[in-house]
Amino acid sequence: MRGPDRTTRVVLAAAAVLAALTTVAWRQSSARETMKALADLDRQIELARDEREELTRDLMIKEGRAWVLEEAARRLGLRPPREAEVQFLPGVGQ
């Protein structure tokens, strides 16, 4: 028996090249999808960091005495006592 004829070899070589090109195209497509997903995650992380910074600033403001006094006055009608309204009890705080 003779080996594969020339036509068979050409067909097999073309099939191998086509398979290689298909594999390369699939890998590139997969890589693009992965890179897009990573870029989306990077954007989400950056947004989360920005939101965290904003919440930290907001918390610092709301923990401050000025904000607490303002909100107590606005919501509850409270105010700091005047000097004449303060009474010191003997023996307390000594």
The token duo for 21 is 């090109």
pTM of structure: 0.54
Look at residue 93 in the predicted model and tell me its pLDDT. Answer: 63
CB neighbour class for 40 (10 Å; exposed up to 12, middle 13-18, buried from 19): exposed
**CA distance linking residue 73 with residue 66, whole number of Å:** 11
pLDDT (average), residues 62-82 = 93
Q: Residues 77, 71: contact at Cβ < 8 Å?
A: no
Question: Into how many domains does the chain fold?
Answer: 1
The verdict on residue 71 lying in a domain is yes
The verdict on residue 93 lying in a domain is no
Look at residue 1 in the predicted model and tell me its pLDDT. Answer: 47
Helix (H) or strand (E) holding 37: helix 6-62
Tens digit of each residue's pLDDT (9 = 90 or more) over 24-44: 999 999 999 999 999 999 999
Range of the domain at 48: 6-77
In the 8-state DSSP scheme, what is residue 87?
Answer: -
The verdict on residue 14 lying in a domain is yes
The verdict on residue 82 lying in a domain is no
The verdict on residue 51 lying in a domain is yes
The verdict on residue 18 lying in a domain is yes
Q: Residues 72, 78: contact at Cβ < 8 Å?
A: yes
Q: What percentage of the chain reaches a pLDDT higher than 70?
A: 93
pLDDT (average), residues 54-58 = 97
The verdict on residue 29 lying in a domain is yes
The verdict on residue 33 lying in a domain is yes
